[in-house]
Structure 1
Amino acid sequence: MSSSSTAVCEPTPLAPSEKILQDVFGYQSFRIGQQEVIEAVVEGQDCLVIMPTGGGKSLCYQIPALIMPGITLVISPLISLMKDQVDQLNANGVAAAYINSTMSREEVMETFLAMREGDLKLVYVSPERVLMRDFIERLYETPLSMVAVDEAHCVSQWGHDFRPEYAALGTLKQHFENLPIMALTATADDTTRNDITSRLGLTNPHDYLGSFDRPNIRYTLLEKHKPMTQLTRYLTGVRGQCGIVYCNSRKRVEQIAGKLRDSGVRAAAYHAGLDHDERGRVQESFQRDDIHIVVATVAFGMGINKPNVRFVVHYDIPRNIESYYQETGRAGRDGLPAEAVMFYDPSDLAWLRRCLDEKEEGAQKQVESHKLNAMGAFAEAQTCRRQVLLNYFGEYREEPCGNCDICLDPPKRFNAIEVAQKALSCVYRVNQSFGVGYVVEVLRGMQNQRIREHGHDKLTTYGIGREHSHEYWVSILRQLIHRGFLTQNILRSSTLQLTEKARSVLRAEIELELAVPRLDVAARSAKSDKMANRHYDKKLFAKLRKLRKAIADEEDLPPYVVFNDASLMEMAEILPTSQGEMLAINGVGHRKLEKYGSVFLGVIEEHLMAGISER
């Protein structure tokens, strides 16, 4: 009887970074770009990291912080962001702390002592504090391994959120010449990237420019007609989900938040005019899922690390694509399907241009004008919105994305010479002295005192467009403006006036095609989404979310610090019944398995047993 020996293959040992990724943070593999950045900084190289919001930037410095001896200093712009990051690190068993103005002198001194003794791995501070002389002196006594500058676009005057205190951070290289510095941001064009490198004094940095694409986000634009009605209709379709509604003024924020609360929606207002305690209360309530919707100005968001934001609505058009990209990027950070909806009215863009015109001439005004024009081009695009967005950042795509309103419901064209003649004739007949709304009322034959006072109910164009809705004619007039047949005179309350090009339409000398007006988003939102069709047990998912909320409330933490939605969805899909299977779930590391594993496994087992007994 012959015997044969079988060679046993030893598993390849994990690199230190991979072991930390799995054991501490609970992820099975790196995202694209993370590992190469980690290896570069561990070797002592400066780094410039451009990754999309939700792309995993924080792990690029958190993992090296656990590999390298000494402390990693993280420069962060907001107290809320520091606290959120430290809470999550502590939940994973990492020694991290922050120093900010909410702390007592005793607490600050205790943290300084822990830094000097090397008891911490990461310390978060603001740029203002880093630049204080006494803080620099304390850093000389601290075993530093690296510095991470988060939201690094604030360093550059060409960025969309320039901050002078950030620009001064280049002095760190003068104090600590050989200390590696990592600059991280989600949005920076080529000019901004070069400026960041120069101002921070980065030496031959490892540049990582990731994709700006967030494929799980659906980009949708709605023509703005009755925005409050449109918003209410949209929110009805996403009831129970968390989202942000951005507005360009504090007054509008207050009005919309009030109306939503009156209609039974768990909503709150957030803007810079509120006192510090109220802003903190709103942000914490949102983080903990106690309120579902925040209506806000741009003051809200940079510190939001909430992974389960399912939608972002722009009630008004933003001032630049960088802001739009960052704000929409707060949706779907967990990788699950999310939506970015913008309500667009060209008059909003005209208002922003008027505001810009009032600024003094100079390079900064030119930059802002360029960025605003690019935002307008995005809003008025008739091609794939994701392609327009990515092209702006220098990332060119040949294929349309299949997950924006233009791709899901391509604009239909029609022979528009007759409707255009009606619209242009009406503008002419009212002496080119009225705005869009009034011209539409005349076209539709509305009976009101203003029309009668002007005698416009006697015009040949009165009522010639009554077969179409108000929204239809607004869309036609806007397209005629975009195509250069009409202009809006900003100095005369945006009255409509014919251009020289309009003659060829009125005389039917050219062919003209326009897009069939889009009057609602419902049909597009109802279209199937491949990512949304994951096969997971939705009843179990709801039970796991309820358990998570109870644990989070008891431990005084935001729910996603326990586990994020993506981890719960994976549990409801894979149905783990052992600690080993639970550890294979993304987002479940050893510390969280030890703290929460048994209770979550208990709910899963109970759910499975209930299912068997029902059969």
Structure 2
Amino acid sequence: MSSKHAVLKEVFGFDGFRPGQERIVDCLLDGRHVLAVMPTGAGKSLTYQVPALCKGGLTVVVSPLVALMQDQVAALKLAGVAAESINSAASRDDNIAIWKRVAAGEVRILYLAPERLMTERMIGALQRIGISLIAIDEAHCISQWGASFRPEYDMLQNLRSAFPGVPIGAVTATADEATRQDIMGKLFGGDSDLYVAGFDRPNISLTVQPKSSTRKQLLAFLQNRPEESGIVYALSRKSSEELAKFLSDNGYRSVPYHAGLSPEQRAEAQNLFMTEPGVIVCATIAFGMGIDKPDVRFVFHADMPGSLDAYYQEIGRAGRDGAPADAHMVFGLQDITMRRRFIDQEHTDDERRRREHKRLDSLVAYCEAPECRRQALLSYFGETSKPCGNCDACLSPVPTVDGTEDARKILLTAEMTGERFGATHLADLLLGKANAKGQSLGHNQLPVYATGRNQPRHVWQSLIRQMVGGGYLTLDVAGYGGLSIAPKGRALIRGDGTFRYRADMIRAARPSEKKAAPVIDASVPQELLSRLKTRRSELAREGGVPAYVIFSDRTLIEMAREQPRNLREFEMLHGVGAAKLERFGEVFLQEISTFQQQ
């Protein structure tokens, strides 16, 4: 057995471990299971590669992607390690030859996909050979709570019983509390060590911008970034290709990448990105896992990602060298609508669909965060931090409005209902609209009931989202979307601190709250209708009354369509009574006559 420090220096050329690495290495060398949650670029692979070489024998590494396995095997071989991968991209003859080397004890680290490992034949063969260590990369894929759940990973929970006494190390960059507990329960039966490194990547500057013109915003972002390598994420294959062409037409070296391209085309794009400077990849989420390019200077989200988990993973591909990098996202209501539609279409399981909607709610809360964006992001993963000074909210704060009293109403409503209900229920109570369940629990008798009637529903819901984003409330994604009060919220209840919100984000309500665009009736002259509405507004101002009191929209539409020529015909319109006929008839008839003459 070799010393861990000797392996670190002699094989990998490092004088010392990075923060957190040695603790995980020691767990595995001591024969203990461990789950390690470390940010992208923190050196997760080394935490199982070093103990694999120290222990001797065979280590099996489970990895989700062929490209990821091939990259790691190539890197290990360059370091002089006897590493191999048996995968679907290789020929049957090549895989057989590699297996013979494994059986002969000539391979130290073997990479396998979960579906290839978890066959009765492979498990039996490995049991006969004997293995020293099992490592599971991208371990969040095993969790039903995770945003990247893969059913084939679920089979890995049988490894503990198939190889008793063999330590298992699971590593991932993205796992909130619910996901961590689920991973440990499945893989280790709850009997394992847990190491959670900080999620913060302070060198990455965070910016979220309301979407206006994606292409113009992208060009403006790239204007002062000549020759920088970066990734532009788009929602669809078509968008990624169009953006790549658009950037190429504007003088940038850009290539598309998505699952619809041939393996050769994807390999060519990836190779160009990895080896050439100043290449921009316009990609769907198919691009990124296992991409270990240290000098990616930016990640630009042309469309909203699927969740904060996905967002964190995707921006983590920037700045792995520790130098300054930028994460820039543009988002709009259409993005939220599309994401919700995807969730409803892709997830047939009601429970998972509900959970994914809650994950999206957390992402929207992050986008609407009134204060430090990094605080909102880290809060989602259970971390607290001071304002970072390296995000748009810190560097260029937008005007905010004092919403302390309204925030206290929300917090007290959450507290009085046991901190287990979601935003809709809290908004209902504040509006004085308790449903049957609320009434049965006596919520309509609470002191906070109907205290929020001064504001419409979408305002309360936006305030709640901004409070989640600001770290005052915590959204239970794994449960039923209940809102609990965070320490920052407790302090606000006590009168310590203030809550300020972004009024410009109030309009960013859920799509279901957005009024449908009116259908234009071709039989109605729009110019005349506009004139009638202008005249109605003038009369309303003169009389000091709301415009609808004069005539409703329905009356004006009918008026524009029928174009009455006299008082008798005018009287036949919907909503015209004797008093209004006498007071307004001639005024509107004159407006119609003028239009007809012109």
How far apart, CA to CA, are the structure 1 residues paired with 2:68 and 2:170? 16
Query: Are 1:146 and 1:181, in contact at CA under 8 Å, matched by a contact in 2?
Result: yes
Q: Is the 2:21–2:47 contact (alpha carbons within 8 Å) kept by the matching residues of 1?
A: yes
Q: Which residue of 1 aligns with 2:453?
A: none
Deviation at 1:184, TM superposition (A): 0.8
Q: 1:339 to 1:480 in 2, by over 3 A?
A: closer
Match of 2:213? 226
Return the TM-score normalized by structure 1.
Answer: 0.65
| C-alpha distance in 2 between matches for 1:252 and 1:318 | 14
Name 1:266's counterpart in structure 2.
253
Following superposition, the deviation at residue 492 of structure 1 comes to: 5.1
**Alignment partner of 1:257 out of 221, 241, 244:** 244
AA at the equivalent of 2:15: Q
- Aligned twin of 1:375: 363
Question: In the alignment, does 2:319 pair up with 1:296?
Answer: no
1:319 aligns with 2:306: yes
Alignment of structure 1 residues 519-534 onto 2, 5 Å: none
Structure 2: distance between partners of 1:100 and 1:486: 46
The residue type paired with residue 387 of structure 1 is: Q
Report the equivalent of 2:375.
Answer: 387
User: Post-superposition shift, 1:411?
Assistant: 2.2
Comparing 90-99 with 364-373, greater Cα deviation is found at: 90-99
The reply to whether residue 246 of structure 1 matches residue 233 of structure 2 is yes
Corresponding position of 1:450:
none
The offset of 1:290, in angstroms, is 6.7
CA apart distance, 1:491: 7.2
CA 1:254 to 1:177, structure 2 compared with 1: closer, same or farther past 3 Å? same
Deviation at residue 370 of structure 1 after TM alignment: 0.9
Match of 2:138 in 1: 151
Offset at residue 479 of structure 1 (A) = 6.2
Corresponding position of 2:91: 104
CA RMSD of aligned residues (A): 2.4
Question: Are the aligned partners of 2:114 and 2:152 in contact in 1 as well (CA < 8 Å)?
Answer: yes
Distance in structure 2 (CA, Å) of the matches to 1:327 and 1:282? 18
Equivalence for 2:506: 483
Match of 2:328 among 328, 331, 341: 341
Q: Which residue of 2 is the match for residue 286 of structure 1?
A: 273
User: What displacement does 1:233 show?
Assistant: 2.3
Provide closer, same or farther for how the CA distance between residues 352 and 493 of structure 1 changes in structure 2, counting only shifts above 3 A.
farther
Which 10-residue stretch deviates more, 351-360 or 201-210? 351-360
1:207 Cα deviation from its structure 2 partner: 0.7
**Bigger RCO of structures 1 and 2 (CA < 8 A, at least 6 apart):** 1
SS in 2 for 1:318: coil
Deviations, residues 545-584 of structure 1 (Å, cap 9, x unaligned): xxxxxxxxxxxxxxxxxxxxxxxxxxxxxxxxxxxxxxxx
**Offset, 1:23:** 2.4
Shift of 1:489: 6.0
- C-alpha change, 1:487 and 1:105, in structure 2 (3 Å) is closer
Instruction: State the AA in 1 paired with 2:350.
Output: G
Q: CA deviation at 1:236?
A: 2.9
> What is the letter of the counterpart of residue 201 of structure 1?
F
Pair 1:396–1:133, CA change in 2 (3 A)? same
CA distance in 2 between counterparts of 1:300 and 1:113 reads 33
- TM-superposed deviation, 1:133: 2.4
Q: Residues of 2 paired with 1:40 and 1:488: CA distance?
A: 48
Q: Alignment partner of 1:49: what SS? A: strand
State whether structure 2 residue 169 is matched by structure 1 residue 169.
no
Q: Give the counterpart of 1:364 among 352, 355, 358.
A: 352
Structure 1 residue aligned with 2:544 = none
Q: How many residues align?
A: 419
Q: Which residue of 2 aligns with 1:196?
A: 183
In 2, Cα distance between equivalents of 1:345 and 1:292 = 27
Q: Specify the code of the residue in structure 2 equivalent to 1:180.
A: P
**Structure 1 residues 121 and 355, CA, compared in 2 at 3 Å: closer, same or farther?**
closer
User: Is the Cα contact below 8 Å between 1:181 and 1:202 reproduced in 2?
Assistant: no
Indicate the residue corresponding to 1:459 in structure 2: none
Give the aligned residue type for 1:76.
S
- Give the drift of 1:239: 1.8
Change (3 A) 1:65 1:377: same
Report the counterpart of residue 433 of structure 1 in structure 2: none
Contact 1:46 1:202 (8 Å CA) reproduced: no
Cα distance in 2 between the residues matched to 1:487 and 1:323: 20
Q: Deviations over 1:248-303 (max 9, x none)?
A: 11111111111112223221111122222222222222222277111111111113
1:363-389 per-position Cα deviation (integer Å, ceiling 9, x unaligned):
111210110000001011121111101
Aligned: 1:401 with 2:388: yes
> Which ranges in structure 1 are unaligned for 5 or more consecutive residues?
1-14, 416-477, 497-615
Q: Which has the larger radius of gyration?
A: 2
Q: Which consecutive unaligned segments of at least 5 residues does structure 2 have?
A: 403-500, 520-598
What fraction of aligned residue pairs are identical, expressed as a percent? Answer: 42
Whether 2:24 is the aligned partner of 1:37: answer yes
Query: Does the CA-based 8 Å contact 1:321-1:371 persist in structure 2?
Result: yes
Partner deviation per Cα, 1:16-45 (whole Å, 9 max, x = no partner): 222222222222221111101101101111
Q: Aligned to 1:123, which of 106, 110, 114?
A: 110
Residue type of the alignment partner of 1:254: E
Q: Which residue in the other structure is 2:224 paired with? A: 237
Contact preservation (8 Å) 1:489, 1:495 = no
